[in-house]
Amino acid sequence: MLPASSIIQAVCVRLELRNVTKRFPGVVANDSVDLTVESGEILGLLGENGAGKTTLMNILYGLYSADEGEILVDGEVAGFEGPGDAIAAGIGMVHQHFMLVPVFDVTENVVLGVEPVGGPFASIDMDEARREVLDISSKYGLEVDPEAMVEDLPVGIQQRIEIIKVLFREAEIIVFDEPTSVLTPQEVEEFFGIVRSLKESGKGIIFITHKLGEMLEIADRISVLRRGKVVGSATPKDATKESLAEMMVGRPVDLVVDKEAAEPGEVVLSVQNLVVQDDRLHTVVNDVSFDVRAGEIVGVAGVQGNGQTELVEAITGLMLPIAGHIELGGQDVTLALPRELHELSVAHVPEDRQRDGLVLDFNLYENLVLDSYYSEPYSKGVRMDWPEARRHSKELIEQYDIRTPSPDISASSLSGGNQQKLIVAREFSRDVKLVIASQPTRGIDVGSIEYIHSRIVEERDEGAAILIVSSELDEVMALSDRILVMYRGKIVAEVAGEDATATQLGLFMAGAVS
Amino acid sequence: MTAVADDVELVRAPKEVRRARILGFVYIGLAVVIYFGFALGTEGDVTFRLGDTPGEIDLTVSAGGLAIFTSVVFAFLGGVQLTKGFGKKTNVILALALALLAFAFLGWAAAGKSLSLVGMLETTVAAATPICFGALSGVMCERVGVINIGIEGMLLTGAFMGAVMGSIVSPIFGLVAAALAGGILALALAVLAIKYRVDQIIAGVVITIFALGLTSFLSAQLLVENASEYNNPGVLGPIKIPLLGDIPVIGRIFFDQNIFIYVMYLLVIAMTYGLFRTRWGLRSRSVGEHPKAADTLGINVYRTRYVNVMLGGLIAGFGGAYFTLGSVGAFNENMTAGRGFIGLAAMIFGRWHPVGALGAALVFGFADSLQVKLAILDTGIPSEFLLMAPYLVTIVVVAGVVGQARPPAADGQPYIKE
Amino acid sequence: MTVAPRDPKPQRSAFWERVAPDKIDYRSLVLIPLLAVLTALIIGAVFIILTSGLGSVWPAYKALFTGAFVGWASISETMLAATPLILAGLSVAIGFKAGLFNIGAEGQMTIGGLTAVLVGFSVTGLPWIIHLPLAIIAGILGGMAWGFIPGLLRAKTGAHEVIVTIMLNFVAFRILDYVLKLPGIVKEGRFDPISKDVLDSARLPKILTWLPVENAERMRLHLGFFLALLVAWFVYWLLYKSTIGFEFRTVGSNPNAAKYGGIGVGATIILVMSIAGGLAGMAGANETLGVLGNGQPGFSAQKGFDAIALALLGRSHPLGVVVSAILFGALRVGGRAMQVQADVGVDLIIIIQALIIVFIAAPELVSSIWRVKGGEETGQLTRGWGT
């Protein structure tokens, strides 16, 4: 007779994906994918942006339906028609972009869809709901205030709510989709602790990330997806970052950016005591001061949501600060609008390329003249010179390696990487004194990432002052000559690029005082 | 609100402060206008009759004195607004101030005469009713993220069906038919907006144009010639609620009205409870705020939207019957005259809350009844300008309020499920 | 205080936007609208059957067609009816291009027509070559003012132009009623609201009276038709060949990117609404100076909603608008003939028009009925209530 505990902990395959295939017009997102997840293990799913990881998980979660193949839960074929079925089968997903309703409180978000009913006229029993939330919260070490409004909560806490949601529904298989993009290195460690304790209680876990270091640390087994196919698997014991990167991309990848020492010149951008408020009148940039010199790359590190977005918007004229000064080459541009900055040779690669940087319905050359259409050579007075714009666009497409059949297609048909290259082409093809790039390589393929990084270094070597804002610590550390760390609206540290370590920066990003 | 440190030099004032400042100046400006317009030179007393018969409950004040009082209050409010502001209560204070202004205006208009305030308040509730139904319909739809510009068309169709079915069968049947007609139009809106992802505003305008055309066509073809057969439903009389209806003043206004008003009260209560206390309400609101999140939790976004939009249509259709079965007694082409759109403004003014919608509708209803009263009083203001009043008020409300209120986050955006 | 990361918002698609500025996509610009009209006519036939019986369908549609297109008189009337529709349609279309919904075309027409009439009869002693343009400009300015208001409110307060323009429509009608009763304005000897006649020097001259056919001198088609075509060409140039038009289209397609590119979104909104108002005002001037010769209440009747329909039908492209305007003009004129000859109510036309809009707005409906590959879906043209 086996002891009861070992029966419960017996290794069994909880989830199996067999031959799962999903096609979209023009692309095979998943191609005959086979995966298994056992209880009490963490399966790492690795792949670059566009490899098909999110599609696969959406199929698992019932948001999409597979064209071919099956999903087996505990040995039985499952036909999910929607997330409700997946939830009922014990699958829980912690999404990359939180699925929380900002104007509801924590409890409402957790119980949405499975609300306990009590009270008169079939009303929701909120007291019972809150009790259960606190139960789970204390059991797994996920502290939350059940009555807090989600939109007031910091991102790290919001993630806990996502996890509680999953546990509330008694998930046995939990999928984490890029969970660490909003955490500081220290918070990541804490988070890993929670994941390990979930594993210990017998859950099967799928951990999706593109960060190689994390994958090696947390996963028991790793499956690598490339262009929709599983191209290999590995275990942390026998894999390295380089070997994983090579499997992900299909060729050896240079993980380090090739650059020489910087030779900084004069101060180009000077930010002094800048204060910015968001639409809800919270002060999100609180007395920030720094300089950027010609020929140097200054990187702003920090978890997203600490004011970086608003800082960039204030500098680039998209938002007006409440107090402070911004000077460009000695000239006061505090309240300057985007066009004035454009004319002062400032380039801006925006954080949200689809929302701010491109007009998706316009074609490529219309997009390429988005900020310079009003002057020669693209227009004379009021008259646009479209043939000229088109001609010039062909040159830029060539120069900046934008993969497209013609300049006449609409920008929406470009891949993320090519869209970003389009924006870079637009911004860098002029003579620029200052470049502000916000999350320049978010969500794009490795090839494009390499390209854009090299272009940025090129601009620096030609004498431009460069300000990079990125929540990818690796990127900031690789590119920057000088690193500033932003936390809760303030610059809390300044470190030379060569001296910086992830641990040290992580501490600053989490608010530890220097 | 996180305060900025004291020693930080501000380069410009935050938006909220500027808004408050503008409102403060508006108050003060009005104070001046009131003084010079309504106070100076106004002689005589005005008697506000509050009871059924003259002399029962009367309030007599000096018209000029009332105006001066109002002017002073406004100046005071302006001062407070400029310095401290009223925060969350700004809208309520504004509404009360406007009520006082209306009061003073009436006093000036009726100086030396008497005026039945109860009558005016009765007409206020009556005029507010279709607007409120429109607003409630809007709330029902927009809370799940669907903008319903078709309310005007639904009201009109409801009015039509109420008249025709009320004539052919019976008024009660007319009510049911009106609601159903609204529901069918709403279904059309839902199909266009949800399934075909047509821009919701266009879909709503289309529904309204279609309803206008259809009702006018049928009215001209059938109703004009056969009025006694098809367009003669009669009016549903007032039903007095025992006990409550006997309370002086209030009883007559709120508890001695026809069935539409009572349904309106019930609807406000039911919707408030439903939206904020029940599972249906939580899920509906989640669909309007963050449909993707709702979808990932197994809530059927499409079905929720369909159901709620159709409920909204039933409400609007029923409310439309008020025009015929509750008020005029027969259908005329285009008799809704924009009340559906005013209902939308009331919805915004009421911050997408059923109780707010009712309150806002009463404000608009008051503007309407004010205009009627002024026409009777023969103040020398041309009737055309008086008729413009509700529309101008709507513009002011929409321009002044909409920036502050937050609609449901996914309002107007079609949900695309892959 | 940290703020949650913003979710990437899906880009809304501008339904009418063609792939390149100079190419016309045959399917969505021509085929779908054609099928939409056809389907609407078929459903209209159903209504005729329901109210007047099967036998009425053929006479009704025959009257519709002949009344619109057969004979110089019909063509004159059709083009005459199309003229204000072209201008009003352009008014709505230019709004759509910038992401704005101008339902106020009717009110703008009313005010424009009114100001044109006022200049038309109160300024004396000027030769035709000056007086007429002056009156037309007065009409344009009047409409412009009426478009400026909702534009300003939208830009500064976020007030949605749908509600504001509809309210202003009602206000405009009341203003017209009021002005037409004023002593200096009312026609002598009349007690109904009708203004003094516009002086001959401000009338738009009739252009078909020289034709060698009978009743030629009664043909009402006037110069305004060609002016409208000219304006349509100008709007085309503005939208697709000028820097200003690029700004309009960018704001309409993605206001965030427009702001990023340095375009003043608020200023653009105000400018677009003003121009739209001016176009509608010109439509009003066209009616009062060309057709009526004076001001009367209701001269703008229905044309505002028609304009929305034909802007959609013409995919907001000036050429499409012109063709659709002629179609709608034909429906109106033919509809009158249909009423007279076949005794089918003219409101049927409204139903047909509404159906056309429905089908244009949802091309999948049309394509699923006819088993044709559909054009691009309408997508989202306008934003919600906020700025």
Distance separating alpha carbons of residues C36 and B12, to the nearest angstrom: 53
Q: Report how far residue A437's alpha carbon sits from residue A449's, in angstroms, rounded to the nearest whole number.
A: 13
The CATH T-level fold of domain A256-345+431-514 is: Rossmann fold (3.40.50)
* Residue that is written with structure tokens 């508890």 in the block: B255
User: Distance, in angstroms, between C120 CA and closest chain B CA?
Assistant: 24
Among residues B351, B348, B389, B385, which one has the least CA distance to residue B368? B389
CB of B385 within 8 Å of a chain C CB? The answer is yes
Higher pLDDT, C138 or B327: C138
Question: Domain extents for chain A?
Answer: 11-249, 256-345+431-514, 357-430
Could you give the 3-state DSSP secondary structure of residue A288? Answer: strand
Q: Pick the closest to residue B49 from B59, B37, B62 (CA basis).
A: B59
For residue range B31-88, what is the model confidence (pLDDT) as tens digits?
A: 888 888 777 777 777 777 776 665 566 777 777 788 888 888 888 888 887 777 666 6
> What is d(CA A481, CA A464) in angstroms, rounded to the nearest whole number?
13
Mean pLDDT of B5-11: 54
Q: In sequence order, what are the beta bridge partners of A300?
A: A469, A484
User: What is the 8-class DSSP label of residue B89?
Assistant: G
Is residue C313 scored above 70 in pLDDT?
A: yes
Q: Provide φ and ψ at B124, rounded to 5°.
A: -60, -50
Set of chain A residues whose Cβ sits within 8 Å of the Cβ of C243: 373-374, 379, 382-384
Look at residue C11 and tell me whether its pLDDT is greater than 60. Answer: no
CA nearest neighbour of B154 among B293, B37, B320: B320
Distance CA C234, CA C242 (A): 10
- Residue-wise over C193-212: b if at least 16 C-beta within 10 A, else e? bbbbbbbebbbbebbbeeee
Lowest-confidence range among A28-42, B123-137, B268-282, C363-377?
Answer: C363-377
3-state helix, strand and coil shares in percent for chain A, rounded to the nearest 5 = 35, 25, 35
What is the overall mean pLDDT for chain B?
83
Give SS3 for A440.
coil
CB-side exposure of A157: number of CA atoms within 13 Å? 18
The neighbour count for residue B10, using CB atoms within 10 Å, is 13
| pLDDT at C53 (0 to 100) | 77
pLDDT class of C382 with cuts at 50, 70, 90 = low
Rounded to a whole number, what is the distance in Å from the CA of C299 to chain B's nearest CA?
Answer: 17
Q: Which residue among C3, C4, C260 places its CB closest to the CB of A284?
A: C3
- Residue B16 scores a pLDDT above 70: no
* CB-based contact, A104 to chain C, within 8 Å: no
pLDDT beyond 70 at B96: yes
C-alpha angle with apex A274: A333 to C158, nearest 5 degrees?
75
Rounded average pLDDT over A107-123 = 86
Instruction: Spell out the residues 6+ positions from residue B348 whose beta carbon is closer than 8 angstroms to its own.
Output: B397, B398, B401, B402, B405, B407, C385
What is the token pair recorded at B154? 């639904």
Chain C environment of B205 (Cβ under 8 Å): 101, 103, 162, 305, 308, 357
Q: Give me the CATH topology for the region A11-249.
A: Rossmann fold (3.40.50)
Query: For chain C, how long is the longest CA-to-CA vector?
Result: 82
What would the pLDDT profile of B130-162 be if each residue is shown by its tens digit?
999 999 999 999 999 999 999 999 999 999 999
The pLDDT of residue A472: 87
Mean predicted lDDT score pLDDT of chain A: 88
Strands A68-73, A76-78: pairing is antiparallel
Element containing residue B341 per DSSP (H, E): helix B339-349
Q: Which residues of chain C lie closer than 8 angstroms to B201, CB-CB?
A: 101, 162, 381-382
Please report the sign of the dihedral spanned by the C-alpha atoms of residue B353, residue B354, residue B360, residue B361.
Answer: positive
Buried b (16+ CB within 10 A) or exposed e, A55-90: bbbbbbbbbbebeebebebeeeebebebbbebbebb
pLDDT of residue A211: 84
At residue C24, the pLDDT reads: 46
The per-residue pLDDT for C310 is 82
Length of chain A: 514
pLDDT digits (tens, 9 = 90+) for A248-301: 888 877 767 778 887 888 999 999 999 998 877 788 999 999 999 999 999 999
Q: Both tokens of residue B371?
A: 């205009």
CA angle, C235 as apex, C233 and C241 as ends, to 5°? Answer: 90
The pLDDT of residue B195 is above 90? no
Nearest CB to A318: which of C9, C250, C259?
C259
Contact B292, A99 (CB under 8 A): yes
The residue-averaged pLDDT of B273-299 equals 92
Average pLDDT over residues A464-493: 91
Q: What is the pLDDT of residue B401?
A: 66
Residue A113 has pLDDT above 60, yes or no: yes
DSSP string for C20-69: STT---HIIIIIHHHHHHHHHHHHHHHHHHHHH-GGGHHHHHHHHHHHHH
Q: What is the DSSP letter of B7?
A: T
Do the beta carbons of residue C270 and residue C152 sit within 8 Å? yes
Percent of chain A with pLDDT over 90: 42
- Identify the band that residue B15 occupies on the pLDDT scale cut at 50, 70 and 90: low
Question: Please, are residues B93 and B77 in contact by the beta-carbon 8 Å criterion?
Answer: yes
Q: What is the pLDDT of residues C31-44, one digit of tens each?
A: 777 888 888 888 88
Q: Which of B353, B366, B364 is nearest to B398 (CA)?
A: B364
With CA atoms as reference, report the closest residue to C142 among C295, C298, C303, C278. Answer: C278
Provide the residue type at A407 as one letter.
P
In whole angstroms, what is the distance from residue C281 CA to residue C132 CA? 15
pTM, rounded to two decimals: 0.84
**Residue range C67-91: average pLDDT?**
89
- The confidence score (pLDDT) of residue A77 equals 86
Tokens, residue C75: 């063509």
Using a CB-CB cut-off of 8 Å, the residues of chain B touching C51 are 218, 221-222
Supply φ then ψ for residue C231, to 5 degrees: -65, -40
Is the model's pLDDT at B1 over the cut of 50? no
Mean pLDDT of A355-373: 92
Q: Which of B366, B175, B330 has the alpha carbon at shortest distance from B258?
A: B175
A355/C256 Cβ within 8 A: yes
Binned at pLDDT 50, 70 and 90, residue B418 comes out as low
Is the Cβ of A82 closer than 8 Å to some Cβ of chain B? yes
Given pLDDT bands bounded at 50, 70 and 90, which one contains residue C23?
A: very low
Which among B301-310, C9-18, C309-318 has the top mean pLDDT? Answer: B301-310
Overall average pLDDT of the C337-364 stretch: 76
Q: Which residue has the higher pLDDT, C14 or B164?
A: B164
**From start to end of A156-196, where are the E strands?**
173-177
- Reference A353, options C257, B8, B405; nearest CA is C257
> What pLDDT was estimated at residue A316?
94
Residue B139, pLDDT score: 96
Q: Which of A23-32, B238-247, C20-29 has the lowest mean pLDDT?
A: C20-29
Q: Report whether A65 contacts A228 (CB < 8 A).
A: no
Distance from CA of B4 to the nearest CA of A (A): 7
Q: What is the pLDDT of residues C87-128, one digit of tens each?
A: 999 999 999 999 998 989 999 999 999 999 988 888 888 888
For residue C385, the model assigns a pLDDT of: 61
| C-beta of residue C51 within 8 angstroms of C-beta of residue B222 | yes
Closest Cα in chain C, distance from residue A78 (Å) = 31
The residue among A359, A364, A385, A469 with the most chain C CBs within 10 A of its CB, best to mutate, is A359
Query: What tokens does A388 get?
Result: 């000229």
Instruction: Name all chains with 3 or more CB-CB pairs below 8 Å to chain C.
Output: A, B
ipTM for the predicted complex comes to 0.82
Radius of gyration for chain A, computed over Cα atoms and rounded to the nearest angstrom: 25
| CB-nearest partner of A338 from C7, C8, C260 | C260
> What percentage of residues in chain C have a pLDDT greater than 90?
32
Nearest in space to A371 (alpha carbons), one of A432, A296, A321: A432
**Apex B384 CA angle, B383 and B390, nearest 5:** 100
Whether the per-residue pLDDT at B313 is higher than 90: the answer is: yes
Give A5: exposed, middle or buried? Use CB within 10 Å, 0-12, 13-18, 19+.
Answer: exposed
Is B16 in Cβ contact with A281 (below 8 Å)?
yes
Quick check: B282 and A322 CB within 8 A?
no
* Tens-place pLDDT, residues A232-248: 888 988 888 888 888 88
Residue A176 above 90 pLDDT? yes
Residues of A in contact with B411 (CB under 8 A): none
CATH topology agreement for domains A11-249 and A256-345+431-514: yes
Taking CA atoms, what residue in B is nearest to A100? B293
Q: Check CB contact under 8 Å for B10 and A322.
A: yes
Any bridge partners for residue A17, and if so which? A35, A71
What is the identity of the amino acid at C7? D
Confidence of residue B366 (pLDDT cuts 50, 70, 90): confident
Domain annotation for chain B: domains and CATH numbers = 15-112 (no CATH), 119-401 (1.10.3470)
Which positions ≥6 away from C62 have C-beta within 8 Å? C342
Q: Cα separation of B263 and B250, whole Å?
A: 18
Q: SS3 of A32, please? A: strand
Q: To the nearest whole percent, how much of chain A has pLDDT over 70?
A: 97
Span B406-412, mean pLDDT?
81
